[in-house]
Structure 1
Amino acid sequence: MASKGIERDVITYNTLIQGLCKVGRINEAMGFYHKLLEVGLKPSVSTYTPLIVSFCNEGNVDEAVELVKKMKDRGIEPLVCTNDCIITALCKKGKVEEGLSWLVEMLKRNLRPRLETFNRLVEYLSLAGRVDDVLPVLNAMFEIGCLLERSVSSLLVEKLCSSDGRLQGEELLDEILLIDKLNV
């Protein structure tokens, strides 16, 4: 392009970054991100989103979170799907507390998480034995009209039951069932 006098713009870089991310070449995509910055172009949400999603998919959530910070430092707000991806990746890394914090921030900013994001967060909170933290997530989830997946619901009920068959957190289960009944 340079030899033909065609100027590269942010769209050119974004296209290259998106394509490289799609085929799993995140390091090369990051190289184009750095080149974009070097030549003085301003990255956009379309620059950051594929990079963040790719890092999350690779399990490198710390790098993804760092890019979100850089994005926000430039005054660019991440898309809802970017936040969803971060929450899921944090949960998969065992960082459910951080995932819960991201969800709270999304809800404060009136962003609507995807159904899958809620379900993954409930799933990982349940697996971590943090059933007390599940109720506020369920409340938010049901408030916006999302329903719990059957498998996640079963997992939660299983975690509420002790190994000897006695119910633990009976009040929590009653509240979950009441909320679910009201939403049917």
Structure 2
Amino acid sequence: MSRNGVQPNIVAYKIRMDYLCKSGRCGEARKLFDSMISLGQKPTVTTYNILLHGYATERYFDDMHCLIDLMAENGISPDHYEGNM
């Protein structure tokens, strides 16, 4: 998308991150997450949850704790419900 001059929106990032996490590529998903933020996209609770689920599946508990801390720093409660992706 970006190669063609199209900036992905939050939904495109979530889909790609979900795919990466489900493929056991959480590190790549985290890089995409960080890239999304650096480009001005604001992650939602669903975005964080995608990474948290990926980390839990891969048993990356330290990464989970760091991400939960980041959520709190950004004012997002880990138990917040967001109805759509």
Q: Give the share of equivalent positions with the same residue, in percent.
A: 30
Aligned to 1:145: none
The C-alpha deviation readout for 1:121-165, integer Å capped at 9, x for no partner, is xxxxxxxxxxxxxxxxxxxxxxxxxxxxxxxxxxxxxxxxxxxxx
- The TM-score, its normalising length taken from structure 1, stands at 0.40
Q: CA deviation at 1:41?
A: 1.1
Aligned to 1:67: 67
- The TM-score, its normalising length taken from structure 2, stands at 0.81
Larger radius of gyration: 1
Q: Which letter maps to 1:20? A: L
Q: CA deviation at 1:15?
A: 1.1
Task: In structure 2, list runs of 5 or more residues that go unmatched.
Answer: 81-85
Distance in 1 (CA, whole Å) between partners of 2:79 and 2:64 is: 13
The ranges of structure 1 where at least 4 consecutive aligned residues each deviate by more than 4 angstroms after the TM superposition are: none
Q: Which letter maps to 2:60? A: N
Q: Secondary structure at the match of 1:40?
A: coil
Task: In structure 1, list runs of 5 or more residues that go unmatched.
Answer: 81-184
Q: Which letter maps to 2:43? A: P
Aligned to 1:95: none
The C-alpha deviation readout for 1:64-118, integer Å capped at 9, x for no partner, is 01101101211111137xxxxxxxxxxxxxxxxxxxxxxxxxxxxxxxxxxxxxx
Distance in 2 (CA, whole Å) between partners of 1:6 and 1:12 is: 11
Aligned to 2:45: 45
Distance in 2 (CA, whole Å) between partners of 1:51 and 1:27 is: 10
Q: CA deviation at 1:3?
A: 4.1
Query: Of the two structures, which has the highest relative contact order with CA contacts closer than 8 Å and spacing of 6 or more?
Result: 2
- RMSD across aligned C-alpha pairs, in angstroms? 1.6
